A = this chain, B = another copy of it.
Amino acid sequence: MVNKSRPTSFDIAYRAGVSQATVSRALRDSPLVSEETRKRIREIARELNYKVDKNASNLRRQSSVTLALLLFEDPSPNDTLINPFFLTMLGSITRACAQQGYDLLVSFQQFSEDWHADYQDAHKADGLILLGYGDWTTTRDKLQRLLEQGTHFVRWGPVIEGQPGMSVGSDNREGGRQVAEHLVSLGRKRIAFLGFNSPTAPEFRDRYLGLVDGLQAEGIAADPALQVDVIDSTEVAGYAAAQALFARGVDFDAVFCASDLIAIGAMRALMEHGKRVPEDVALVGFDDQPVAAFCNPPLTTVMQNTKLAGEKLVDTLIREIRGEPVTSEVLTPKLVVRRSCGAELPATAAQPKRRATKAQ
């Protein structure tokens, strides 16, 4: 066990025979220090395992070089599971932060409660990244308050006219449109939609509106009887929604689901009803989570570029903190064709292209 009290810049200065100020400059790579002095100081710092005290440094510089990620979720508060899509986003945000030299604080929030968003006020973080959904109408007010408090933040979500603050989000409507176009090209005409159609859930709604747009472009009118409300992005909710669809007794030859998990639940219901995917019913999801490639048949879906999304979120926030001009960003999603939609595929295309990492 090494001596408990960590060395300070004064210890380094003493050994190097210079002032503490010079040590500080050398370690911050100030051009005011001679190459030789800097080298000597760095060497001694390494030997003593000296690290600049971030608390002192941050206090003095009035910045923390840290971002805080607020992850919202309301259902199943006692459960460990979080929507895997957000977990993936968390991964790409962590990477993007590291690339920019920022640390990342992660925090869970209950959407319905007052947000524990005082990271910036407490100087723990320079700004916030907001991830997760809830009723959009209440989100608005909370974002407005953050803005008024002078909090730097960026939100993952749809870019909506006149919303407070910056957003980075997918063009969900375009995604829905691509699905419509593709399914119609395969001869499907009665396309059901499982997902909430309400302004309180703009992502799901936009995916639906895109579907309607795409159908219209092909001269097909969307049938409201084919739209079933699903709020939660879960397998269970998807199963229930598909059951509800069957209960209506309507005809359909395709199902477009607002998320991959909903699609997987729908797939279970379809099979229980003796429907073959894709022969009887084509199935399409949204997100392109890894599970989409692994289910049977592999799921055609709309990919959201989570890697780019993480980078854009971090970049936008950092630039906002620095006072540079920033705008919201819309990312274009991309249809990923697998077997569940019934398209002709080259032999290899059904194989998953993504990999997860190392052991366990």
A contacts, CB < 8 Å to B: 1-2, 4, 6, 49-56, 58-59, 64, 66, 71-76, 79-88, 90-92, 94-95, 98, 103-108, 111, 118, 121-124, 132-134, 148-150, 196, 201, 203-204, 231-236, 258-259, 261, 264, 287, 290-291, 293-296, 306-307, 310, 352, 354-360
Contact = CB atoms under 8 A, between A and B. Distances in A.
Nearest to A150: B2
Contacts of A201: 359
Contact of A98 (B108, B236, B287): B108
Contacts of A108: 94-95, 98
Contacts of A355: 75-76, 79, 81, 232, 234-236
A64 B59 CA distance: 13
Contacts of A196: 359
Contacts of A75: 355, 357-358
A123 B54 CA distance: 6
Contact of A73 (B59, B231, B357): B357
B118 A51 contact: yes
B357 A74 contact: yes
A163 to B, nearest CB: 17
How many copies of this kind of chain does the complex include? 2
Nearest to A267: B296
Contacts of A204: 359
6 contacts: A2-B149, A54-B122, A79-B357, A90-B106, A132-B360, A204-B359
B83 A357 contact: yes
Given A91-B81, A356-B233, A357-B233, A2 B148 contact: yes
Most buried by B among A51, A79, A80, A118: A80
A331 B82 CA distance: 22
